[in-house]
Every structure is written in structure tokens, then in C-alpha cells.
Amino acid sequence: MRPVLTPFALLLALSLTAQTNYSSTADAAATIEDRVIEWRHHVHQYPELSNREYETGKYIADHLESLGLEVHRNVAHTGVVGVLRGGKPGGVVALRADIDALPVTERAEIPYASKAKGEYRGEEVGVMHACGHDTHVAMLMGAAEVLTRQKADIPGTIVFLFQPAEEGAPEGEEGGAELMVKEGVLKDYGVEAAFGIHINSQTPIGHVNYKPGGAMAASNSFTITVKGKQAHGSAPWSGVDPITAAAQIVTGLQMIVARQTELTKEPAIISVGKIQGGVRNNIIPEEVTMIGTIRTLDEDMKAEIFDRIRQTATNIAASSGAEAEVVINDGYPVTYNDPAMTDRMLPTLEATMGAENVHLVRPITGAEDFSFFAREVPSLFVFLGGMDPSMDPADAPGHHTPDFVVDDRGLKYGVQLYTNLALDYLHKEHGK
């Protein structure tokens, strides 16, 4: 259930946010709504893959410069940073939107559908904003315009982070939030807190979901190489079969989650996505490789699961005379919503959306590289409804699919949320 504010707490929250005029923000968002939708359609129609967002970055930077903001281009390859320095002294808050698209061919019948092509892992692919990053871009562009109009009254600085490569940098490249942090976008501007929004295609417009603590999972990929001894398929006893060992390892990995992990604490997932080995029906191969993903929401559980994966794979392989080499790769950390920050900003969510439209939800086993920002400064990452309210969520196309759609009527709420989160944080922490 969503925590219920006591009358005293509600009064305190309202007094703390008295300097943010929510009606004024809503009116300002409504005034530029058509332009925000136009921006979203443009970005959607001309998507670009991770670390290749050249035109998207230019489109964003040109808008921010037209507002008179301090603008930095080519951050973390193709990202853009805009800086709004308020007219009063105060703190520094960051607002983030991711800007990259996915190697997905669009199937939705909309007039601004993507026809773009790109190269992914050496192959030509369709390119589509199949996760809603185009909406994030447009909403933050809109918030930048609304906030710029209030520059004289803002106690502090707002840093707009338009981040590339959230979906992962191309192989052999750095990118995304991790590279932005490495390049110093938080330290250089003295950022104290960060806020992010992600559209959700299966939540009705006008609603927002949040989760204190671990909100989205850490994501780590793994490779297990099982080495045996090649033999004729008609005489398996003359060799060591890595395929049967690999099959047992897959089952063993599931036992880690089903029988060795305290799932009442936090969920965890181990999935094998690919197994490759052998070239002919009657040859037992020398080697089999499997790759997969690990999703966790607790750092201690993650470390324990990593150990169990290594132990399970090597011991099962050894039991059949094979060997297993396990490599677990670095990935995205847990997207962690600072509990104190979440409590502090909950009144803002409720004042913006209406308390009845703000929902405490369970964690999501998807991953987000906003987690790199949240690892550095207290942060809040929320999920905004983008589904036509007349739809059944069960029928709404999911993210990363060719039929993914977002209702444009939800964009104005994103503009309001970005704006109010920044203003309320600065007023509460530093306003007078």
C-alpha cells in the first residue's frame, strides 16, 4: 500500500512546497503541450542507436541554446548537458532523460513511425524508439523551457542530462550514464540529487508508480564455457560430452533461484539465453558455450548468487569429467531510490498527479543505467503512465517490441513532474 500522510505531515509537506505553484506548472505544460508532442514525434521518426545519437543530440542542444542555457555537446560521445543557473543562491539538482533507440523494426501504424535503418553487430537493422526514450527527451525539453521562464526565482542550479546509450554501448565502446559519471557531469556541477522518469506503456496516463529502495534490478551477463573431449556420437563413452553437462548446468542454475536464494527478501533471476556447440549430428563436440543474464535487487544476494553460479557450473561439469569456465561481466547496478529522498519527494508526486494516482509498486527485474547516477547522489526514479486509459494493460504492447506505443496525452504530466521535482527539491533544501 501507499503510505498515508497524517494531517500534520500533509500540512508540513504543503508548507515545504509552498513556493512551487503546481497550477502554474500545469498551465505552463499545457501551453507547450503541442510543441512537446511535435518534438516527441520528430525524435521518434528519426531514431538513432546507442552512441550514434548525432542528430538527436543536435536537435536537443539547439533547443536548449535557444532558451539561453549553458549547453555542452558531445558529452559521453553524443550526450548533451544543459545548465540553468537560477537567480537565487541554492543547491544543484539534475534531471535526466535517455535519448537512444533500439534495433527493432517498427510495426505500429502511426503517421510518425520510424523508417530508419542502422547497423547493429555488423548487420543492417530497423531502428525504433521501442522503449519510450523519445518521450523522455520531449518531456525534459519541455521542462527546460518551463523552468527557464522561472529562472529569476529558482534558488540554485538545474542540470539537464540528456544521456546517450542507456540501452548499452556498442561492443568495445564505453557509454551511457557510467561514462557520463566518469567524465564528471555530477562532480563538475556539484549535483546533490538526481531525478529520472521512465514512461510505461502498460500504465494508464495520469498515473505514476514509485518504489523506495531497490526499484529496478542489477543486470549482469555471464558466459559459461563447458569443455569436454570430442568423440563420435555412436561412442559417447570414448569422450566427455559437454552438451549433456551444459544441460545439467542449466537445470542447476535454476535450482540456485528456486532452492538456495531467499526470495522473500528480494526477487532474483538467472536466465540462459543462448547455448552453442557442435557442428554435426554424429559428433560430440569438444566445447559448448552458454550465455545468459542475472537480475538481482540486493548487493549481498548478488554476491552470493555469483558464487553459487561458479560453484554449480564447475561442480556439475566436474561430475561428468568436463571442465567449466565461468565469466560474470560487470553490468548495471541496482537502481536504488534513496528512501529519505523518496519520502521527501512523495508529496510532490501526489500534488502533481493527485494522491489517488500515485502508486507504490513492487520492484521491476528490468535494469536501468540511471543506477550509475543513483549510486553517486541521492536519487528518485519513477514510472509514468503512457497507456491510453481505455486499453486493458494486458493488451498493451510491451517495451522493446515492434508494436510498442505511447499515448501523447501523457507527455504533459512528465513535463510537470520534471519541473516540480526540481523546484520542490531546491525550495525544500535551499529556498527561503
Give the residue numbers annotated as catalytic, written as ranges.
Answer: 100, 166
Q: Are 312 and 253 in contact (CB under 8 A)?
A: yes
Angstrom distance (rounded) from CA 23 to CA 192? 27
Partnered with residue 275 across adjacent β-strands are: 290
Q: What are phi and psi of 401, to 5 degrees?
A: -120, 155
Angstrom distance (rounded) from CA 53 to CA 359? 33
Which amino acid is it at 221? S
**Sequential DSSP letters for 125-162:** EE-B--SSHHHHHHHHHHHHHHHHTTGGG-EEEEEEEE
Between the two ends of the chain, the Cα-to-Cα distance in Å is 34
Angstrom distance (rounded) from CA 112 to CA 142? 20
Q: Are 259 and 251 in contact (CB under 8 A)?
A: no
Angstrom distance (rounded) from CA 102 to CA 350? 33
Partnered with residue 162 across adjacent β-strands are: 80, 97
Sort strands 193-204 and 379-387 into parallel, antiparallel or unpaired.
parallel
Residue with cell 528518485: 380
Angstrom distance (rounded) from CA 417 to CA 24? 13
Buried b (16+ CB within 10 A) or exposed e, 240-257: bbbbbbbbbbbebbeebb
Sign of the torsion angle spanned by Cα atoms 161, 166, 169, 170:
negative
Angstrom distance (rounded) from CA 289 to CA 250? 12
**Sequential DSSP letters for 327-368:** EE---B--EEE-HHHHHHHHHHHHHHH-GGGEEE---BSS--
Angstrom distance (rounded) from CA 188 to CA 182? 11
Q: What are phi and psi of 125, to 5 degrees?
A: -135, 160
Q: Are 186 and 376 in contact (CB under 8 A)?
A: yes
